[in-house]
Structure 1
Amino acid sequence: MPSEFELIARHFVRPVGPRTRLGVGDDCAILAPEPGQELLVSTDMLVCGTHFLADDDPAGLGWKTAAVNLSDIAAMGGTPRWITLALALPTIDEAWVAALADGFAACCARYDVDWVGGDTTRGPLTLSATVFGEAPRGTAIRRDGAGAGDDIWISGRPGLAALGLAQRLGQLELAADWRATCLQALARPEPRVQLGLALRGVATAMQDVSDGLAGDLGHILARSGCGAQLDEASLPLGPALAACDSAACARRALLQGGDDYELVFTAPASARARLDALAGELALPLHRIGRCVEERGLWLVQHDGAQAPLTPRGFDHFGAEADTGGAAPA
């Protein structure tokens, strides 16, 4: 069995670019941020049985561990630059570790991110990454900039990852021609880095959808001091509905499911043409799903025009959902 340091040397030492003066090997990495940039930092932890299942593919798990962290940088309109990985292992299965490391490195390479360090120890299977990004001074997109009259947008096909998880847990049987798509959305999310960069100076507030659209939009509303109305007719339910063949199931997956790592953002009505064009430029659907209002709260405007209150709550690690024993959003 390899030692901790042999394990690191074999699998965690990867090439770095010129913006990293020193990577793995010393007590610290040495990074070289660009002049005029502000540093963005985020940490996410993935715990076996809470965020992923014990039999998950290790390469996919490595990819996802990197991706969910890069998504936090994307959610602020930043460019991800560096990442570290801390890994707790109950035992060493070197083939499993090698696949995990390869998946993590593949995601880093895809988004031109240097893997510059981390740690390993014995313990319950846990992965914790810290990502560092850059944004020109004053351009990072925060959660506190939304205002009454702003449109609310969501990217991609939210809800598919939640359906993939339900399939993994045996809670439903997805349509055969959508099953692989939903499982891929769950296992290998794509952080919306290019979208985040393109939304600098356009979006007034933004965050990624990790714990459910309603809950994560609720964070924007709380920080911005406003409310929102979502249009039931504008929700992008088509893919989720095709996958599960139930309107209630599709709406629940979209609004509460999480694990999508799409971006929910607000923007002035004057930006609609620009955002419609941007969707084509990025080959990424962008859906206008509602508007911000002065009165605090979150409502769903139904097809008949009636308003129903929505609880802006997603997954809570210490709430009732945390006691289900299933995997949950990171």
Structure 2
Amino acid sequence: MGEFELIRHFFAAAPCAQGGDGVALGIGDDCALLELPAGEQLAVSTDTLVAGVHFPAVCDPSLLGQRSLAVAASDLAAMGATAIGFTLALTLPEVSADWLQAYAQGLQRMAHRCRMSLIGGDTTRGPLSITVTVFGRVPAGQALRRDGARPGDLLCVGGNLGNAAGALPLVLGERQAPVEQAQALLAQYWSPMPQLTLGQLLRGQATAALDVSDGLLADCGHIARASGVALEVNQHQVPVSTELEAFLGRDAAVHAALTGGDDYVLAFTIPAAQHQALQLPGFIHVHVIGRVLDGQGVTLRDRQGRDITPTQRGYQHFRETP
């Protein structure tokens, strides 16, 4: 099956490739054309997933289809953007109709959940890797950024952390767990739901935001650095699920929540005066976990206020080994 036949058969005919709000022209030409309402800006982000690095080389392609779009769309949520569409660049070691059909089905499910249209892409031969570029829109001047946190702000997260990191031994076949535990952890790894609605609700309220992909402490460091402030995280306030705690034990669950990554939950700062807003229905899963201070860097504190910041704060690509 040639490249163009592959695209037509598995992707161009998919429901998510039939256009949508903001898409003037989708698959079928040299470029897609997007339409933005007056007064809005285009938000764009690209994520690449490589077999053996970001996911097991042997895995369910349907789950991989969901994950590959979800992790990219999470960047739109972190900016407070409304999703429009995405492109897919797929590098395959071989053409397998069964694999492609399952992958396309998973991709379609996540596209439907995120209300996104597939608007173009590319295929080529080589080691399995997936590159997704997402497009969204946000009112001019209202995009959530990393550089607005100010001393006195509260530090918050949009839900439980650590489930995806806890799922890794299950994904790799190194451990087993009771069904109810395994389902909760694996769902966060394979099908994280980008917090697009929360991101949009935070426009005009949050002073800084990002999605937690490389570990809470590591990603909070990005906000601290961009904003020129210090962030203080209270370990006992970091939310973990009952399933993760039952699977790993309390200490290991908290460690996974702090440094594990792959959560795709929003972390953000908000003025203390806006605390009441966190009681509204759209913020039901939000937890206050710390505060913004004068200074620099990220500090983790225990219940007694002691500094217990670990040396390893999250996942790093290309980290040198001794």
Quickly name the TM-score band, shorter chain normalised: over 0.9
Cα-to-partner distance string for 1:220-251 (whole Å, 9 max, x where unaligned): 11100111111122111353653324222112
Residues 60, 100 of structure 1: 8 Å contact kept: yes
Q: For 1:167-202, what per-residue CA distance to the aligned partner results, in whole angstroms no more than 9, with x for missing partners?
A: 223455445531111011100000000000000011
- 1:107 is aligned, of 110, 129, 152, to 110
Query: What is the DSSP-based 3-state SS (H/G/I as helix, E as strand, rest coil) of the residue aligned with 1:255?
Result: helix
Please say which of residues 262-271 and 22-31 is displaced more in the overlay: 22-31
How far apart are residue 166 of structure 1 and its match?
A: 2.4
Structure 1 residues 320 and 159, CA, compared in 2 at 3 Å: closer, same or farther? farther
| Aligned amino acid, residue 298 of structure 1 | V
Aligned partner of residue 317 in structure 2, secondary structure: coil
Matched, 1:75 2:78: yes
Higher mean C-alpha deviation, range 161-170 or range 203-212? 161-170
Report the TM-score when normalising by structure 1: 0.92
Quote how far apart the aligned CAs of 1:17 are: 1.8
Q: Does 1:212 align with 2:226?
A: no
Partner of 1:270: 273
1:118 aligns with 2:95: no
Matches within 5 A, 1:1-330: 2-13=1-12, 14-239=17-242, 241-277=244-280, 281-282=281-282, 284-311=284-311, 313-320=313-320
Q: State percent identity of aligned pairs.
A: 42
Paired residues of 1:174 and 1:243 also in contact (CA < 8 A): no
1:35-68, Cα deviation, whole Å (9 max, x unpaired): 1111111000000000111222111111111111
Contact 2:180 2:243 in 1 (8 A): no
- Secondary structure, counterpart of 2:111 in structure 1: helix
1:109-162: per-residue Cα shift (whole Å, max 9, x none)?
Answer: 222211100000001000001011100000001000001111100111110011
CA distance in 1 between counterparts of 2:284 and 2:182 reads 21
TM-aligned CA distance change 1:237 to 1:109, over 3 Å: closer
Change (3 A) 1:175 1:225: farther
CA distance in 2, matches of 1:186, 1:236: 17
Q: 1:299 to 1:33 in 2, by over 3 A?
A: same
In the TM superposition, what whole-angstrom CA distance separates every residue of 1:251-303 from its partner, at most 9, and x where no partner exists? 211011111100000001111111122xxx23741110000111212222212
Displacement of 1:31 = 1.4
Over aligned residues, Cα RMSD in angstroms?
1.8
Q: Which amino acid aligns with 2:227?
A: S
User: In structure 2, what is the equivalent of residue 328 of structure 1?
Assistant: none
Unmatched tracts of structure 1, length 5 or more: 324-330
Which amino acid is the alignment partner of residue 47 of structure 1?
V
Deviation at 1:80, TM superposition (A): 1.1
Distance 1:31 1:142 in 2: 23
Aligned residue number for residue 326 of structure 1: none
User: How far apart in 1 are the matches of 2:169 and 2:143?
Assistant: 35
Q: Contact between 2:161 and 2:241, CA under 8 Å: does it hold in 1?
A: no
What SS does the corresponding residue of 2:263 show, helix, strand or coil?
Answer: coil
Q: Partner amino acid for 1:266?
A: T
- 1:8 counterpart letter in structure 2: I
State the secondary structure of the residue aligned to 2:28. Answer: coil
Write the distance in 1 (CA, Å) between the matches of 2:266 and 2:289.
Answer: 13
Give me the whole-angstrom Cα distance separating, in 1, the residues matched to 2:237 and 2:54.
30
Q: Determine if contact 1:301/1:307 at 8 Å carries over to the other structure.
A: yes
The answer to whether the 8 Å contact 2:88/2:120 transfers is yes
Q: Determine the C-alpha separation between the residues in 2 that align with 1:283 and 1:228.
A: 21
Asked if 1 retains the 8 angstrom alpha-carbon contact of 2:198 and 2:283, the reply is: no
